[in-house]
Amino acid sequence: MRRLMHIFTGLILVCMPAALAGCTDAKFAQITALGTPARVTCFSGGKVILDDMSSGKVSHQEGGGAVFKSQTTGRLVETNADCVVDHMTSTPAGWVPVLP
């Protein structure tokens, strides 16, 4: 029994660093960004059609677009446009939202 415990502990000590090493900076940032406010900027025809701050998590829809609760209006926003989501950001000074 004691030998089995030593083997199990050894496996954990060997496998844990390997598992953590496989976690990229981007994946780690993605995990830690869950639930944090984000700036959502959406484009159509090369023009900004939406520029807003989320109050929390931003979900991505199939085929593009995003779903989030607007920090500006308090409403649920769903878009089917090409969007850039900038996580863990603060509202820039002088920023004015672009709402649909």
> Is it the case that residue 96 has pLDDT exceeding 80?
yes
Q: Average pLDDT in the 77-87 region?
A: 92
DSSP-assigned letter for residue 80? -
What is the number of domains present in the chain? Answer: 2
How confident is the prediction for the chain on average, in pLDDT? 81
Residue 96 located in a structural domain: no
Asked whether the whole model's pTM tops 0.75, one would answer no
- pLDDT at site 10: 60
Q: Which domain holds residue 64?
A: 34-87
Same domain, 43 and 76: yes
Residues 6+ apart with CB under 8 A from 48: 41, 42, 98
Q: What is the pLDDT of residues 32-68, one digit of tens each?
A: 666 788 999 999 999 999 999 999 889 888 888 899 9
